[in-house]
A and B are shown apart, each in its own frame.
Chain A
């Protein structure tokens, strides 16, 4: 192997973006919780001190990953996946409960969410499975196995009560689509979400009447009325069943606080000092940043009045408040560049394993970025997932770094594949 030359083949753009995002995150945590009594950035008594330590650990781990044989992760993918599943099951038993979900394992000196690790393991296992020569997404068997690889950890995370992290796994639909799954399924998925929201907003009766009216109109104007009748009838029946089950799912599957959050997002409930408080404060903080922002360390909303989560899930608010729209645009540019760059890199892989793995992490990062920022601006329910590389939290930073560096290594060795 030509490991000696690895440094020359590393995609330095990605490394640069990674360090850039982590640094912005670190400075923002510093700004958000800035405490005049602990001004040093490496003070371990503060959250930014601990985050700095974790960044150092993550970078060191990344360097080590670059030295490991690129084939290693393909070979041990199932072992890592199996370990992740065991860990998720163990969490159901020994996990500690935080904010209503039993999704953390406490190791004494630190605690981490096995679901973070499971995302990485699932990407590896999926890539490994589809890498085999006889795997083809046009075969039902391949499709079903691929779905199972994703669904097993997703269900386990859902059982922990962490609906937010479980939803992340749904982004593998993008990877499936890329590898040959019918585009219709993607569209159906989006339509399902739309009907879900419409049902909650307007009530099932309105939705059902609407569907019947629309189908009726289509039937009147369609040409081959007799041939299409059963088709349209079937679709209408399916959609109505779905709409009815949404009611049931919402009332019986989602937890009280999740229901409330969704209702607040949809404007069905008003709770100025309760769950709605975070969201409203978040919007005020972002809005008060204006075009240019208030300046580094000058954010008042996120510093004084905000919820304790302002350096974890709501870190975007601090940036938006202090750096304004200009800063937000720059941050978006960096994130979009990262995601596009990952797609370009995935596309240039010769091995199926590396390609699928690359698309997987691009999709996971995309989902986190989209949902995290979407929730701070009130576009999506507050489901509490971190902003990659920026939110405060050691295990989140560490596993995102791990995930990224494994791909950087794959990419550096892409030419080894004949």
Chain B
């Protein structure tokens, strides 16, 4: 070590000065905090501050006629701050809550694991009746307090799959979005799930001084730290609660679905999936138990058949094949084909009618050989230069109607169905296939799978003569913000409008023609166009299918009905569809005998 002169010895005073001045600055600030500012003095040695979450009112949901579909009902959460729990009469609390001591210990351990100092939900979703019996005793329980946390109520008890329900957040939800804390409620299915961010609003917080007796005394700092909860946005759906309820009654005892769409907007008027359940069963603490029961039910009531059930479209698909035939120029409205009835090859005819058959007659009679011939001639048309190229054309037209994976919708967990492509067959048949291989497609069987929502949309597109809006539930937001623009953007098919007029004539004859497959379901004074279908079911009785729209020239409703294991389309699906149409357009149903027969029939 070497001794050198400390040249800047005097600078030590600057350094000491910095130390002292800094300390004084800190002290002044502390003096202001502790002595000058008296607002914090509200908290004495005997009290503390509690930050209580203020849950916002979740948005309510209305139908198209402003009838309430979902509203909030009072409910409470019992919160706990583990570090503040003391002198607890555990047995007393267990008795009040009707829980075992083990359950109590588990709940407390879970809360401690989350935080000793921050509140967490100890016992959630206490109904207002239960709350009445416990709330006045809560001051006994140090470290526990109630917060208001509403649950949902569904006054109509309808559209369980579509409206969906809310439940406690999972740990994954919390991980994905820091907004959520344990015990919060989140949309689990239906529009509750799809519009969660719109519906949930924003939580607020309220700081309260709590005294030594666990009593909330006053607002802390006059509410300076409080933030008000922001209520969620209300939704108006395109649903018609009355029509929905009517549809559910018609489907009573049957398996299947009804989807009704307003063709001019794409809004869904009714969407029934049967068997269904009361959405109120999945509210509150019973949710878990009831959910498991529904989950284990053999009839699968939780499955939303309307949006995620997939079926071959059957003969309803003949309309589309006819349209493609017309558009490609293979046939015109006057083209005829010979029908050899039951001995036709390769697909026989199941109806008895005169031959040769015109296009509209073929629709009226649902003649298989006619549409096989159209399909065959289309795939072999010289203009396409080969069956596979012609098949590509066919595929594009089909997808253009929203089949396959072609539109967005706000129906949660909707399936996209399946339309086989050229590649699909190339893979299966190693490249060697022709029109004979895929002949079932001509009558809507085979590898095609569609959902009832897609079928209803298909009916709407035919009714509109060539365009549709993606089927959707939302009609408007309560805050006036616009709905997603994909729902208001028109999608046009590649088929010329005059071809739709031809097919509409055929579809009218399904009701009005001498041999019409749905002539028994005609409604007086309302012109309806429709098509029956039967989806082959390898596991049992075939599914009954029907699509329709009315009035024919300016459709207000387009509908698809599927009744599983019900045989021909004309037996159940057609009357259900026309009853729905009558109910919607006329407001009431004249054909009460048909209505009664359908409602009373149980197909199991």
Which residue numbers of A lie inside 8 Å of B, CB to CB?
71, 74, 131-133, 174, 177-180, 183, 272-273, 280, 283-284, 286-291, 294-295, 298-301, 303-308, 320, 324-325, 328-329, 332, 335-336, 339-340, 343, 346-347, 350-355, 359, 362-363, 366, 370, 373-374, 377, 379, 417-418
Contact = CB atoms under 8 A, between A and B. Distances in A.
Contact of B19 (A132, A307, A339, A352): A339
B205 A287 contact: no
Q: Give the 8 A-B residue pairs with the shortest CB-CB distance, closest first.
A: A287-B40, A351-B1, A294-B45, A288-B43, A298-B45, A300-B48, A288-B40, A325-B34
B432 interface: no
Given A180-B8, A300-B47, A74 B1 contact: yes
Contacts of A339: 16, 19
B105 interface: no
A283 B43 CA distance: 12
Interface string B77-119: 0000101100000000000000000000000000000001100
A354 to B, nearest CB: 7
Given A131-B2, A351-B1, A352-B6, 8 more contacts: A133-B4, A179-B8, A180-B8, A286-B40, A300-B47, A305-B117, A332-B23, A366-B22
B31 A284 contact: no
Interface string B134-161: 0000000000000000000000000000
B51 interface: yes
Contacts of A354: 1
Given A301-B49, A325-B34, A379 B29 contact: yes
B560 to A, nearest CB: 49
Contacts of B19: 336, 339-340, 343, 362, 366
B177 interface: no
B41 A286 contact: no
Contacts of A74: 1
A332 B15 contact: no
A355 B44 CA distance: 48
A320 B11 CA distance: 33
Interface in B448-486: none
A332 B9 contact: no
Given A180-B8, A336-B20, A366-B22, A328 B30 contact: yes
Contacts, number: 147
Nearest to B7: A180
8 contacts: A177-B14, A177-B15, A178-B8, A289-B34, A290-B41, A300-B44, A329-B27, A339-B16
B603 interface: no
Contact of A343 (B6, B12, B83, B225): B12
B45 A287 contact: no
B526 interface: no
Contacts of A350: 3
A133 B51 CA distance: 63
Contacts of A329: 27
A377 B43 contact: no
B46 A280 contact: no
B594 interface: no
Nearest to A181: B8
Contacts of B81: 304-305
A343 B16 contact: yes
Given A301-B49, A325-B30, A131 B1 contact: yes
Contact of A287 (B8, B25, B26, B34): B34
A174 B3 CA distance: 22
A304 B48 contact: yes
B37 interface: yes
B2 A351 contact: yes
B48 A359 contact: no
Given A306-B117, A332-B26, A336-B23, A287 B39 contact: yes
A352 B2 CA distance: 7
Given A180-B7, A328-B34, A379-B26, A353 B1 contact: yes
A291 B35 contact: yes
Contacts of B23: 332, 335-336
A245 B8 CA distance: 35
Interface in B196-242: 205, 225, 227
Contacts of A183: 14
A351 B29 CA distance: 39
Contacts of A295: 45
B2 A133 contact: yes
A304 B117 contact: yes
A352 B4 contact: yes
B33 interface: yes
B34 A273 contact: no
B20 to A, nearest CB: 6
B18 interface: yes
Interface residues of B, number: 49
Interface centre among A133, A284, A332, A354 (most CB of B within 10 A): A284
A346 B19 CA distance: 15
A336 B26 CA distance: 12
B45 A272 contact: no
Nearest to B4: A352
Contacts of B40: 283-284, 286-288
Contacts of A336: 19-20, 23
A304 B47 CA distance: 10
Nearest to A180: B8
A259 to B, nearest CB: 16
Contacts of B25: 379
A377 B12 contact: no
Contacts of B12: 178, 343, 346-347
A106 B137 CA distance: 49
Nearest to A352: B4
Contacts of A131: 1-2
B51 A273 contact: yes
B29 A377 contact: yes
A332 B27 contact: yes
B228 to A, nearest CB: 12
A376 B345 CA distance: 89
Contacts of B43: 284, 288, 300-301
Contact of A300 (B22, B26, B46, B227): B46
Contact of A347 (B9, B27, B35): B9
Contact of A272 (B14, B42, B84, B205): B205
Given A347-B6, A354-B1, A370 B22 contact: yes
Contacts of A273: 51, 205
Contacts of A343: 12, 15-16, 19
Nearest to B39: A287
Interface centre among B9, B25, B43, B49 (most CB of A within 10 A): B43
A355 B4 CA distance: 10
A27 B568 CA distance: 86
Contacts of B8: 178-180
Contact of B225 (A272, A320, A335, A370): A272
Contacts of B2: 131-133, 351-352
Contacts of A180: 7-8
A300 B42 CA distance: 12
Given A304-B83, A339-B19, A347-B12, A377 B6 contact: no
A356 to B, nearest CB: 10
Contacts of A178: 8, 11-12, 15
B48 A301 contact: yes
B15 A359 contact: yes
Contact of B1 (A299, A307, A370, A417): A417
B85 to A, nearest CB: 11
B33 A286 contact: yes
Contacts of B39: 287
A304 B84 CA distance: 6
Contacts of A363: 15
Contacts of B227: 272
Nearest to A414: B1
A364 B492 CA distance: 74
Contacts of A291: 34-35
B48 A305 contact: yes
